[in-house]
Structure formats: C-alpha cells, structure tokens
C-alpha cells in the first residue's frame, strides 16, 4: 500500500514539475519590451489624446513585432478604425496610417468579447529590426472623421521580440 502511495506521489510530482516547466517556457518565450494600455477618458478618443509608448531596444540585432491594441464597446458605430502611428527614435520620425477592420460585413464584431467590450491586437510591423539600440517612442492617434470618437475604452502598444 505504501509503495502505491509513493508511486502516485511521484507521478503527481512529475506531472506538477512538467506543468511548471512547460508553463515557464511558454511565459519565458514571450519577451515584451513594452505592453502599454491607456484608458480613454469617458470612452471619447479625441484628436489631441495621443497614446504615447516610450521604450528601449537593447538588442537591435533581434527582430520585433509591433502591435496596436484596442478595446471598444458594442455601441461603437463603425466597422473599422483608422489610426496614425508616429515612430520616433530621437533622430527621425516616420508616420504611417493604418486601417483596422473591427467587424464583418454583417456587423458581427471580430474582436474577442467579454460582455459589452471587444478587444483586438493588430499587427503594425512584424519581424521589424530597429536601426540601432536606444530609446524609441510610438505615438498613436485616432484618424477618423469623428472628434471625439466615442465608445473607445482603451488603446495601447505592444512591442515584443519575434519568435
């Protein structure tokens, strides 16, 4: 009987260790440089309310993915969003305009939903290599006709090492 208990405990210990090892490998492989999320006051994103994400690149030999993060309520009235992203490195500034699709043609939201809020993570640049080590900044502004753009609850930027 004692041998059976010891075997069960050993199996449980091995399973726990295996689970912890796999979990730490998965979590350890997602190395975020920055993961910002800014709440939009009163869910009204104005032209002046830019999302600013400063960060530092320590190894410009590595490739990085840059994402735009967005959350809106079900009362958002468009099926897309346009944003301007300003990429700054202290020496230069590059601006790109992005359009992100938020809903299907029938109006069904494409984001992951929890109640009345829908979340998205859109790629802006993938496998991007920064020109040098140092401090960078990404500034995102809404670029829709409406000012303020209502029912946007938060927005942000995620920069992580490519896998």
Token look-up 């009235």 returns 77
> Which residue segment(s) compose the domain that 4 sits in?
1-30
- Residue 79 is predicted with a pLDDT of 98
- Residue 132 burial class via C-beta count within 10 angstroms: exposed 0-12, middle 13-18, buried 19 and up: exposed
- Residue 15 is predicted with a pLDDT of 39
Low-confidence ranges of the chain (pLDDT < 70): 1-30
What is the pTM for the complete model shown?
0.80
> How many separate domains does the chain show?
2
- Residue 90 is predicted with a pLDDT of 84
In this structure, the answer to whether residues 23 and 69 fall within a common structural domain is no
E strand residue ranges, the chain: 32-35, 38-39, 44-45, 51-57, 64-73, 80-88, 93-101, 112-114, 117-128, 134-142, 149-150, 152-161
In this structure, the answer to whether residues 147 and 106 fall within a common structural domain is yes
Centroid of chain to Cα 79: 20
For 163, residues 6+ apart whose C-beta sits below 8 A from its C-beta are 29, 30
In this structure, the answer to whether residues 48 and 90 fall within a common structural domain is yes
In this structure, the answer to whether residues 87 and 148 fall within a common structural domain is yes
In this structure, the answer to whether residues 141 and 89 fall within a common structural domain is yes
pLDDT, one tens digit per residue, over 41-68 is 999 999 999 999 999 999 999 999 999 9
In this structure, the answer to whether residues 111 and 138 fall within a common structural domain is yes
| Whole-number Å distance between alpha carbons of 45 and 35 | 20
- Residue 27 is predicted with a pLDDT of 39
- Contact between 33 and 138 under an 8 Å Cβ cutoff? The reply is no
């Amino acid at each position: 009987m004692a041998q059976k208990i010891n075997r069960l405990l050993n199996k449980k210990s091995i399973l726990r260790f295996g689970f912890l090892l796999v979990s730490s490998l998965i979590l350890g492989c997602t190395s975020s440089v920055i993961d910002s999320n800014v709440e939009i006051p009163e869910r009204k994103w104005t032209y002046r309310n830019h999302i600013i994400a400063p960060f530092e690149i320590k190894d410009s030999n590595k490739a990085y993915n840059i994402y735009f993060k967005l959350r809106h309520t079900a009362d958002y009235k468009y099926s897309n969003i346009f944003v301007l992203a300003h990429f700054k490195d202290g020496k230069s500034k590059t601006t790109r305009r992005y359009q992100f699709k938020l809903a299907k043609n029938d109006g069904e939201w494409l984001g992951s939903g929890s109640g009345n809020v829908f979340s998205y993570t859109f790629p802006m640049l993938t496998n991007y290599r920064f020109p040098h080590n140092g401090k960078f900044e990404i500034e995102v502004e809404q670029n829709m006709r409406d000012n303020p753009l209502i029912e946007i609850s938060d927005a942000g930027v995620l920069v992580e090492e490519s896998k």
